[in-house]
Amino acid sequence: MSSITYQGYTEQQIIAGCVGGERKFQQMLYNMFSGKMFAVCLRYAGEYNAAQDLLQEGFVKVFRNMEKFRGEGSFEGWIRRIFVNTAIEHYRKQVNLYALHDSEVKYYEHYDTNALESLKYEDVLKMIQKLSDGYRTVFNLYIIEGYSHKEIGEMMGISEGTSKSQLARARYLLQKMIMQNGEVAKHSAN
């Protein structure tokens, strides 16, 4: 466990306080991770209000299950996993994923690497939020969270091939958006 301190309290002390149900330590934990976790929620949620709901639901789960944290891994990773699972549970019922045929999967072969590197966080977030729920979820789980297609398939209740095809489609749409964004940037610069 890392020795992160916040307002003079170590992470262990804050966790112990949260396990004891002390509101002060719970608020400290919220202040420590709310920014990052809200970013996670925004990635999985299609809109801002839905992300707020996910944030609230995720933190309530964290505080209620605090005693289950055994200190074996990163505490931030544990919290992040709770938020990801909350988002997946939220969208699993809504998302109706299906496998795409190879003819439907297109790769945008010529994209500008400079346009990609010039992208900021907010720009990428907006592009990801424009994706449909299924593409967005698989893209987040594979690219950002680092899950394999097999794990994604188990988590989402879909096959591995479906996860792959959904990811390929999400990539194609994002690259297309990046190219369009780069062209717009070029035109605006000229």
Partner 1 sequence: MDDKSLKNFDRHIEQVMNEGSVTPPFGAWNRIAAELEAAPAAGVATGAVGTTTQPLFNTGAVLGFISGALLIGTLITGWLLYNNYNNNSISVTPVVNTELPVEEIVTTTQPVATEPVLQAPVEVKTTRIVSTTPKVEKSATEVPAKLQNNEVAAPTVKLPMDKQKNTDEVYYFPPVDINTGTPTENTTATADEEDEDNDADEVKIAKKVTQSSSSGERIKFKKKRKTNWTYGRLNKTKNKSKF
Provide, rounded to whole angstroms, the least separation between the CB of residue 179 and partner 1.
12
93 within 8 A of 157, measured Cβ to Cβ: no
Q: Which two tokens stand for residue 49?
A: 């209000």
Single residue of 14, 32, 45, 55 touching partner 1 by CB under 8 A: 55
Q: Which stretch binds partner 1 (CB under 8 A): 6-14, 30-38, 81-89, 158-166?
A: 30-38
Provide, rounded to whole angstroms, the least separation between the CB of residue 127 and partner 1.
9
Regarding 137 and contact with partner 1 (CB under 8 A), the answer is no
Which residue lies nearer to partner 1 by CB, 120 or 187? Answer: 120
What's the CA angle centered on 174, arms 173 and 177, to 5 degrees?
90
Q: Which two tokens stand for residue 2?
A: 């890392």
Single residue of 14, 15, 26, 162 touching partner 1 by CB under 8 A: 26
Which residue lies nearer to partner 1 by CB, 24 or 98? Answer: 24
Regarding 64 and contact with partner 1 (CB under 8 A), the answer is yes
Burial tier of 158 (Cβ tally within 10 Å: 0-12, 13-18, 19+): buried
Single residue of 14, 66, 88, 119 touching partner 1 by CB under 8 A: 119
User: How many other C-beta atoms lie within 10 A of the C-beta of residue 124?
Assistant: 16
SS3 115: helix
8 within 8 A of 18, measured Cβ to Cβ: no
Task: Identify residue 169 by its one-letter amino acid code.
Answer: R
DSSP 100: P
Provide, rounded to whole angstroms, the least separation between the CB of residue 53 and partner 1.
10
SS3 122: helix
What is the contact surface with partner 1 in residues (CB under 8 A)?
21, 23, 26-27, 30-31, 34-36, 38-39, 42-43, 52, 55-56, 59-60, 63-64, 107-109, 111, 113, 116-117, 119-122, 124-125, 128, 143-144, 146, 171, 174-175
